[in-house]
Structure 1
Amino acid sequence: MQMTGNTILVTGGGTGLGRGLAEAFHKRGNTVIIAGRRKSVLDDVTAANPGMSGLVLDIADPQSIALFADRIVTEHPALDTVIHMAGIMQNENLKKGSTLATAEATIATNLLGPIRLNDALLPHLLSRPKATIMTVTSGLAYLPLAMTPTYSATKAAIHAWTLALRYQLQDTGIDVLELVPPYVRTGLMGERQANDPHAMPLEAFTAEVMGILEAQPDVQEILVEAVKPLRFAERSGQFDEAFKARNDMLMKVRGAEF
């Protein structure tokens, strides 16, 4: 992936990891468009980053995606990079009653959203001389968190989808990258995560990701050091033990919120 001169869409770009990457690419001279549900949040970010623009998108709504895709291609015909960052993550205590609404919302946002948006934008991206699609999974795609079963499942699904997408597009001008974040200090799961000293600071995560992209222009899987124990848990031959130990520990620490 080239680091400058791109026209980049970052879904979920108003907060957290999305905002961090959007601002980092903006500072490197790229044209950046952020998208999200809340116009007020987008306005705050674009006001703090002159030259950046924001468009409202409900990634869980197929009609919103269709209208958004038409608009962004019309207003930004040079669009050549899409970062599928938007996502939600919620606990699901299966013993306390139905969690179906949470599961369906998570699938609509984290899995169907990127698939639908990619479907809408792919013809345009294929028309560009060079383009990039970056999916965003999670270390939990590889070592699931039992408290968030559907979130972990959607990220595992996006990983598989990314592999297939990369294979099918290998003879085109589109690079397909997978960003695999660890536990980062954002508001994804509320104030506890946003202030958790055990989470990787957002600034450190963003800096490491940008450093990897700059040093390895042909990288396909973007792994900061903190996520590697999750990403490669199965290689140790002790996946079952690691899964149980990690989930036992997190349940003990976070049991009150579950």
Structure 2
Amino acid sequence: MRIEGKTALVTGGTAGIGEQLALQLAAKGAKVIVTGRSEERLASMRERGFEAIHADLSNPAGVDALVAALDERDFDILVNNAGQGVDHDFREAAPDMGDTDDCIHANLNAPIRLTTALVPQMAGLERATIVNVTSGLAIAPRAGSPVYCATKSGLRSYTQAIRAQLNDMGIHVIEALPPVVDTQMTAGRGGHKMSAEDCAAAIVHAIEKDRDEANIGMVKILKRVHSISPALARNIMLRF
């Protein structure tokens, strides 16, 4: 896809990977609308020339409000990037089901609902692209993040299925699988982290090249291990 002249919606586009995606898509000539929850960050994006819409995607009402705010506008590119983590480790404390439900909705239900709302307009365009940002943890889970991993695995399956459905409608569906990226969500975690800028660049490249998947950074290695031995990949990541 040639990005210049396209209109893109990036959820969670005020920080981390989403902010970098917005900046890089705009630099290539796209008109970019972003969503977020922090009024301060939304204001910062507006100061840089972006249309920025407040949206809490952790519940159905928040998604419905965003769809209403978009007012049936056409988008050539939809990036379902917004997501959140949740503490759900029985070894540490009893999980909070309210937080768990919010995570499931933000990471899985919201992309499904938003995609469902926008596909009718996107299908009428010459060429459109949907990018669902999952994670390397969609391939093999980490023991300490079972709910987050489950949502990303679910979104991976959804992405693969709708890719087959939407191809004949002129909508290409890409799955982006980042490794551990240096964002607010991973603050406090040690180890090597990819920069949000480099991760976003890999996703933008996948959009331009019409790739089905963007296996980014260390996820490329995980994908190779998984292709040889899913059990080995799983055992490695459960200890991660």
TM-score between the two structures when normalised by the length of structure 2: 0.91
Q: d(CA) in 1 for partners of 2:98 and 2:65?
A: 25
Give matches, 1:104-253, under 5 Å: 104-189=101-186, 191-193=187-189, 196=190, 198-214=192-208, 217-237=209-229, 239-248=230-239, 250=240
Structure-2 residue corresponding to 1:70: 68
Q: d(CA) in 2 for partners of 1:167 and 1:200?
A: 31
Could you say if the C-alpha distance between residues 186 and 36 of structure 1 is closer, same or farther in structure 2, counting changes exceeding 3 Å? same
Q: d(CA) in 1 for partners of 2:205 and 2:122?
A: 25
Q: Secondary structure at the match of 1:188?
A: helix
Gaps spanning 5+ residues in structure 1: where?
251-258
Letter in 2 for 1:55: I
Structure-1 residue corresponding to 2:97: 100
Could you say if the C-alpha distance between residues 170 and 209 of structure 1 is closer, same or farther in structure 2, counting changes exceeding 3 Å? closer
How far did residue 4 of structure 1 move? 1.5
Structure-1 residue corresponding to 2:87: 91
How far did residue 223 of structure 1 move? 1.7
Structure-2 residue corresponding to 1:253: none
Q: d(CA) in 2 for partners of 1:236 and 1:141?
A: 17
Letter in 2 for 1:232: R
Based on CA coordinates, which of the two structures has the bigger radius of gyration? 1
Could you say if the C-alpha distance between residues 21 and 168 of structure 1 is closer, same or farther in structure 2, counting changes exceeding 3 Å? same
How far did residue 97 of structure 1 move? 1.8
Structure-1 residue corresponding to 2:76: 80
- RMSD between aligned residues: 1.9
Structure-2 residue corresponding to 1:3: 3
How far did residue 29 of structure 1 move? 0.9
Could you say if the C-alpha distance between residues 241 and 132 of structure 1 is closer, same or farther in structure 2, counting changes exceeding 3 Å? closer
Instruction: Give the number of equivalent residue pairs.
Output: 239
Contact 2:9 2:33 in 1 (8 A): yes
Q: d(CA) in 2 for partners of 1:62 and 1:209?
A: 27
Gaps spanning 5+ residues in structure 2: where?
none
Tell me, yes or no, if structure 1 residue 25 matches structure 2 residue 19.
no
Contact 1:138 1:155 in 2 (8 A): yes
Structure-2 residue corresponding to 1:54: 52
Aligned-pair identity (%): 31
TM-score between the two structures when normalised by the length of structure 1: 0.85
Q: Secondary structure at the match of 2:118?
A: helix
Q: Secondary structure at the match of 1:154?
A: helix
Letter in 1 for 2:214: I
Q: Deviations over 1:186-219 (max 9, x none)?
A: 1113x314xx5511122222233334444xx221
Q: Deviations over 1:124-152 (max 9, x none)?
A: 21222221111111000002111000100
Could you say if the C-alpha distance between residues 212 and 116 of structure 1 is closer, same or farther in structure 2, counting changes exceeding 3 Å? closer
Could you say if the C-alpha distance between residues 4 and 105 of structure 1 is closer, same or farther in structure 2, counting changes exceeding 3 Å? same
